[in-house]
Amino acid sequence: MRSSISLGRVGGVPVGLNISVLVIVVILVIGLAFGRFPIAFPGLPTAAYVLAAVVSAVLFLASLLAHEVAHAIVARRHGLEVNGITLWLLGGVAELRGEPRSPAADLKIAGVGPLTSVVLGGVFALASWGVSVLGAPPLVSGMFGYLAAVNVLLAVFNLVPAAPLDGGRVLRAFLWARWHDRMRAAVAAARAGRVFGYVLIAVGFLNLVTGLGLQGFWLALIGLFLVNAATAEEQQTQIDAALHGITVGEVMSRDPVVAHPFETVATLIDRLVLRHHLSTYPLLDDDGRFAGLVTLGRIRRVPPDDRVITRLREIACPPSDVPTARPGDQLTELLQRMSGCTDGRAVVLDDGGHLVGLVTPTDISRTIQTVDLRAREPYRTPRGADLAPPPPGGTTPGGDTPGGATPGGTAPPAGSRDAA
């Protein structure tokens, strides 16, 4: 669900389209131009129906974008970072970095999306009435009426109390406030999402066998997506709760094997790769400063004939894009940032900025496998406290679906996933 087409920035947040959103546009245009509009407003030229359908599709995407922007604005007001907003096949994704620090913040961030859709529904309903009073063609009034209904339907659907929908986030906030246990609330919301997903799959297949082909297929697709997302979210929540209290220093690989940025790829292969069989090589310059990160995957992408002339600095992930941490930092906080060009890796620096270790997927996997052997206090949010529990890593879809989002990788960013 990464952006394929950039739309610029809104309030400093990158906004883009995933190529899959074109499927939604095509379905809307065909369904409206050759189905709904001709039936409701017969006798008009085909070009008029197509134009109204295209305008409706564009305004619908704008409505989804407004929904996501609302999530992003409120999230930033509560201290969360927003990496970007992407419109995709099942709606929209506001990618949030981190998790709300209290049930109240969780509720506000989740609830503002459906509220925005309801407000937009009212605006379009008012526009429909206004153009009708002004004597505009019925097709124009009907177009705005359709957008009003679709926005209200979007809000109602996403308020279903099942993660990763916005309603699941609302449910999580209420349970968190009642139980004072973030993990327990998140797991309950995720399980509700899985049940709701199975219900949609069943209804979708029922529609398919009764002749409602496209509608049934769409419901089954959304249901399958919700089941997968909710299951992954529950698993990630439990893992993050298990990792609560573990520091980066306890997990990292110390004294990593390093290379020089001006060293060639061929030299690195002969000197280190074939001897140490490691997958990650930090680069240090002449002054001992961290200068980038080279992984085995990046080395393999260099054609054999170019390895003797290609410098490591040319293929390395730049220092600004590599997640960094101190040995005393919480592992769960670092996991949120371990994505991007480093393929789930991070470097550990001491207070003087010197490299002291690496955190790799292997380190994280080993920690997860042995976490039950550690003697630690179980995680629980104290009654009345406004604390940040270990964030349920993964992509925290907060959905305006029909959908949410599936987590990817060992330490995916948290985020709000909304769909249409």
Is 248 in contact with 356 (CB distance < 8 Å)?
no
Across the strands, what pairs with 107? none
Locate all alpha helices (DSSP H) within 279-375, ordered by sequence: 296-300, 312-315, 331-335, 361-370
Which residues in 68-143 belong to E strands, given as ranges?
81-88, 91-97
Nearest to 411 by CA among 350, 342, 358: 342
Neighbouring C-beta atoms of residue 41, cutoff 10 Å: 18
Locate all alpha helices (DSSP H) within 210-247, ordered by sequence: 213-242
Is 95 in contact with 83 (CB distance < 8 Å)?
yes
Task: Say how far apart CA 124 and CA 143 lie, in whole Å.
Answer: 9
Side-chain-facing half-sphere of 227: CA atoms under 13 Å? 13
Nearest to 420 by CA among 106, 15, 117: 117
Task: Say how far apart CA 255 and CA 247 lie, in whole Å.
Answer: 17
> Any catalytic annotation for residue 95?
no
Strands 355-359 vs 346-349: parallel, antiparallel or unpaired: antiparallel
Is 359 in contact with 365 (CB distance < 8 Å)?
no
Is 338 in contact with 411 (CB distance < 8 Å)?
yes
Locate all alpha helices (DSSP H) within 21-137, ordered by sequence: 21-31, 37-40, 46-77, 103-133
Nearest to 268 by CA among 309, 312, 306: 312
Which tokens hold the place of 365? 């996997």
Catalytic residue among 68, 99, 233, 234: 68
Nearest to 285 by CA among 194, 368, 354: 354
Report which residue type is found at 199: V
Task: Say how far apart CA 303 and CA 292 lie, in whole Å.
Answer: 21
Task: Say how far apart CA 167 and CA 173 lie, in whole Å.
Answer: 10
Residues 6+ apart with CB under 8 A from 405: 1, 93, 164, 229, 395, 397, 399, 415, 417
Task: Say how far apart CA 190 and CA 162 lie, in whole Å.
Answer: 7
Q: Which residues are catalytic?
A: 68
